[in-house]
């Protein structure tokens, strides 16, 4: 079964510093991978998606993620954190084994320090 | 605004009661997904419908049921409610069954007292 693992339930960075949120996937077939962001009291919003077209995927709000098959990773990065980036971030994989359901990681809460 | 509408936004009820949560997907989306988000369980997939038919089931309790109607809106019915059912329930939609990313509604927060 396909799955994703997010390392670090809480990450703190200073404003202007690099943001790195880690996600590793488990899949026996080429995966469809996603990053979503959830701001307080809101639903999840798509940041970016990987669908095998390019290994470096650019998303909204300056975020990007790189698909590394050798490391089974899909880490999310942003060169310079902004206070408005404080939110919870979810990595997800779409199960392509037949159900096509989306499986989410446990989430990483990003705190940005002034 | 994702285009996915969920009602009600907040609901407070007592143990043993039954509630219905409603979801209208984005215009043109045929797939509807239901997720439960709680502090201790994270985001749990409950059930998926595509064009009126159930296509996938996750960790959905027998006390819970759902359906998708011909106009594509969906309802999640929760019965014999327990304290542990208190959570945020999200609906999401996508254009197809095998394609398209999920678009989430803002959720229905259920509190069981």
pLDDT tens, residue order, chain A (114 aa): 788 999 999 999 999 999 999 999 987 777 889 999 999 888 999 999 998 778 899 999 999 999 998 999 999 999 999 999 999 999 999 887 767 788 899 999 999 999
Q: What is the pLDDT of residue A42?
A: 87
- Integer Rg of chain A from CA: 14
Q: What is the pLDDT of residue B93?
A: 95
- Output the CA torsion sign for A103, B36, A77, A8: negative
Quick one: tokens of A5? 């693992």
- The answer on pLDDT for B108 being more than 80 is yes
Euclidean distance between CA atoms B75 and B32, whole angstroms: 10
Of B11, B20, B7, B37, residue with least CA distance to B112: B11
Distance from CA of A22 to the nearest CA of B (A): 17
Q: What is the pLDDT of residue A41?
A: 83
Euclidean distance between CA atoms B41 and A29, whole angstroms: 27
Size of interface A-B (CB pairs under 8 A): 53
User: For residue B24, what pLDDT band results from cuts at 50, 70 and 90?
Assistant: very high
Q: What is the pLDDT of residue B39?
A: 81
Q: What is the DSSP letter of B83?
A: G
- Determine which helix (DSSP H) or strand (DSSP E) holds B71, and give its type and residue range: none
Euclidean distance between CA atoms B107 and A41, whole angstroms: 9
User: What is the DSSP track for A39-99?
Assistant: -TTS-EEEEEEE-SS-SEEE-GGG-EEEEETTTTEEEEEESS--GGG-EEEEEEEE-TTTT
Distance from CA of A60 to the nearest CA of B (A): 15
Average pLDDT over residues B33-59: 91
Contacts of A105 in chain B (CB under 8 A): 42
Q: What is the pLDDT of residue A27?
A: 79
Among B43, B88, B109, the strongest candidate for a mutation testing the A interface, having the largest count of A CBs within 10 A, is B43
Distance from CA of A100 to the nearest CA of B (A): 6
Contacts of A96 in chain B (CB under 8 A): 98
Mention every residue, 6+ apart, whose C-beta is less than 8 A from residue A84: none
Cβ-defined contact of B43 to A100 (cutoff 8 Å): no
**Residue B49 near residue B74, CB atoms below 8 Å:** yes
Distance from CA of B27 to the nearest CA of A (A): 17
Euclidean distance between CA atoms A85 and B83, whole angstroms: 33
Contacts of B102 in chain A (CB under 8 A): 34, 36, 44, 46, 102
Euclidean distance between CA atoms A68 and A112, whole angstroms: 27
């Amino acid at each position: 079964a396909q799955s994703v693992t997010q390392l670090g339930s809480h990450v703190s960075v200073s404003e202007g510093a690099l943001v790195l949120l880690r996600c590793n996937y488990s899949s026996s077939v080429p995966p469809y991978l996603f990053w979503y962001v959830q701001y307080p009291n809101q639903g999840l919003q798509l940041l970016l998606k990987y669908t095998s077209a390019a290994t470096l995927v650019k998303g909204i709000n300056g975020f990007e993620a790189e698909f590394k098959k050798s490391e089974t990773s899909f880490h999310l990065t942003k060169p310079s954190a902004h206070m408005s980036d404080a939110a919870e971030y979810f990595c997800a994989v779409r199960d392509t084994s037949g159900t096509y359901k989306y499986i989410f990681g446990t989430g990483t809460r990003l705190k940005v320090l002034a | 605004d994702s285009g996915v509408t969920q009602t009600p936004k907040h609901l407070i009820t007592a143990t043993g009661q039954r509630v219905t949560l409603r979801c209208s997907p984005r215009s043109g989306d045929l797939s509807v997904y239901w997720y439960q988000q709680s502090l201790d369980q994270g985001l749990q997939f409950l059930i998926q419908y595509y064009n009126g038919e159930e296509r996938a089931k996750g960790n959905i309790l027998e006390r819970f049921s759902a359906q998708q109607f011909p106009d594509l809106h969906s309802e999640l019915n929760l019965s014999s409610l327990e304290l542990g059912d208190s959570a945020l329930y999200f609906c999401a939609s996508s254009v197809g069954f095998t394609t398209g990313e999920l678009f989430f509604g803002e959720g229905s927060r259920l509190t069981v007292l």
